[in-house]
């Protein structure tokens, strides 16, 4: 079956090398855009499908040409890891082995 990968992490996707990939230069966790901006989100997905249809070679990654801000300044804060600041932080959450619910009501709804 044909697949289309929509990614905000160019280097990681290039390493995995899927048949058809479309790249958006947006922060991780915002692959389809900003919250509650349906027009931008629809336009981005429309571009992704059009780009995928135009591909004729396995391993293609097409940049969809979407931008987060005018000057790309978000990239200075692209990771919360403290890389390059010399303080060697690891800000990822602890990898807990119990279900991590968004809301306590979800836990109750799931009966766990």
Binding residues among 35-64 for other proteins as defined by CB under 8 A: 35-36, 38, 41-42, 45-46, 48-50, 52-53, 57-59
Contact 53, 63 (CB under 8 A): no
Query: Per rule CB under 8 A, is residue 73 in the interface with other proteins?
Result: no
Positive or negative: CA dihedral 86, 87, 93, 97: positive
Q: Nearest approach, Cβ of 69 to other proteins (angstroms)? A: 13
Backbone phi and psi for residue 87, each to the nearest 5 degrees, phi listed first: -95, 0
Cβ nearer to other proteins, comparing 69 with 79: 79
């Amino acid at each position: 079956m044909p697949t289309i990968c929509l990614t905000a992490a160019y280097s990681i996707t290039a390493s995995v090398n899927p048949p058809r990939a479309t790249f958006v230069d947006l922060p991780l966790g915002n692959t389809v855009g900003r919250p509650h901006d349906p027009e931008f989100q629809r336009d981005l997905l429309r571009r992704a499908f059009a780009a995928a249809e135009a591909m004729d070679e396995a391993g293609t990654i097409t940049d969809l040409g979407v931008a987060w801000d005018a000057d790309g300044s978000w990239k200075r804060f692209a990771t919360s890891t403290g890389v390059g600041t010399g303080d060697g932080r690891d800000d990822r959450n602890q990898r807990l082995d119990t279900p991590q619910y968004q809301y306590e009501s979800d836990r109750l709804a799931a009966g766990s």
